[in-house]
Amino acid sequence: MTTDVSPRAPLPDDGRRAAETPPVTGPLPRIGEHAGMLAHGTAELRRIFGPLLGEDTVERVAAESHAELSAMASDPARRESIAVRFAAERLEALTGARGLEPRPVPHVLFVCVQNAGRSQLAAALLAARAGDALRISWAGSRPAERIHENVAPVLSDIGADPADAFPKPLTGEVLAAADYVITMGCGDDCAVAPHQDVRDWPVGDPAEADWERLQEIVAEIEDRVDAFWREVSGGR
């Protein structure tokens, strides 16, 4: 179980002192696509997020992220790489939830069960429209090890890298930081606490879909994404 690092949890002493320092200017850097060994990645996370959240918090989240993904990624090198990227997303969410983000933007979180297709498709389509105007995340209640094979080429067509679209477990800090939570056809399995704005998109699962059915699912997601983007962007 993930340790509570919600925005309401008190910062450790080093975090309190760090939070009093001036915030960094500009967007938070993104961890590289292949962070290498976990120790190297954790050191980079400490450099980026330590001044804002405290090194103890950074190290705890990095260790938890590696443990959370241990059952999902059987290859050790891949597990360490995605664990660092997962930890970076959690720490960035925690930074925003605690009001320490230098340039806050609305955060959209897509949630499904396996987190292996629908959420990533929706995230990629929304990112293609919103650019840097939104922060976009995805997570699953019971995430699979990898995305569905038939989804990968569609993500590439949209302009997203399938290697970046790995399934992630739903964590408290990412949920707490989200302004919009969109569940996708998973009913009670994706139950979340009452939030600022929770919506359900009952979209079909692409897991066993043939190509024709997959295109229908993508088209439905795209229609919903377009409507959502028009709403949150004021029609631009």
How does pLDDT run across 140-179, given as a tens digit for each residue?
Answer: 988 998 899 999 999 999 999 998 899 999 988 888 889 9
Residue type, 84: V
Per-residue exposure over 2-11, b if at least 16 CB sit within 10 Å of its own CB, e if not: beebebebeb
Between CA 181 and CA 192 the distance in angstroms is 9
Tell me: pLDDT of 95 over 60: yes
Is 94 exposed, middle or buried, given 0-12, 13-18 or 19+ CB atoms closer than 10 A?
buried
DSSP helix/strand/coil, 132? helix
DSSP helix/strand/coil, 139? strand
Lowest mean pLDDT among 106-110, 124-128, 142-146, 212-216: 142-146
Give ranges for CATH 3.40.50.2300 in the chain: 105-236
Tell me: pLDDT of 236 over 90: no
- Residue 31, C-beta contacts closer than 8 angstroms, at least 6 positions apart: 41, 44, 45, 48, 84, 85, 88
For position 192, what pLDDT does the model report?
A: 75
Residues 103-123, mean pLDDT to the nearest whole number: 92
- Mean pLDDT (the chain, rounded): 80
Q: Which CATH class is domain 105-236?
A: alpha beta
Query: Would you give the DSSP letter of residue 142?
Result: S
